[in-house]
Amino acid sequence: MFEKMRDTWTKMVQPLVVRMGDLDPSVLTWTSLAISIVSFYLIAVAELDNEGAMMITGAVALVLIAGVFDALDGALARHQGTAGPYGDFLDHTIDRVVDVGLVVAIGYNSAYVIDP
């Protein structure tokens, strides 16, 4: 099932990937991490008010953008014929860092603590 989804994704992003030319796919991977770190900060400091709601909305948008960058790196590497173990390891490692970062940011935000 995931292979079929990957094939569909690859067809969708092919025009964009072609325009990226010789860009190193790891640049997209590192960019997704940088965008995610900004979203961690927004989540960690958001308060329970309108400004905080806007910060959370912005963080969600940034996480989605980071996800697109994360998905594009593999498509670009396959297009360039440079897909390999280093890129795969880097991609999966940064994915786990982002997963942990999101959990830590949510846990750090004291505005969402449930009082007994």
111 contacts 47 by C-beta, under 8 angstroms? yes
pLDDT for 113 equals: 67
pLDDT tens per residue across span 24-70: 999 999 999 999 999 999 999 998 889 989 999 999 999 999 999 99
Residues 6+ apart with CB under 8 A from 70: 28, 29, 32, 91, 94, 95, 98
What angle, 0 to 180 degrees and rounded to 10, lies between the N-to-C axes of helices 50-80 and 2-20? Answer: 80
pLDDT for 2 equals: 65
- Domain range summary for the chain, segments of one domain joined by +: 2-104
User: Spelled out in words, what is the top-level CATH class assigned to the domain 2-104?
Assistant: mainly alpha
pLDDT for 1 equals: 65
Given pLDDT bands bounded at 50, 70 and 90, which one contains residue 15?
Answer: confident
Task: Report the predicted TM-score, pTM, of the whole model to 2 decimal places.
Answer: 0.84
Mean pLDDT, rounded, for 91-114: 89
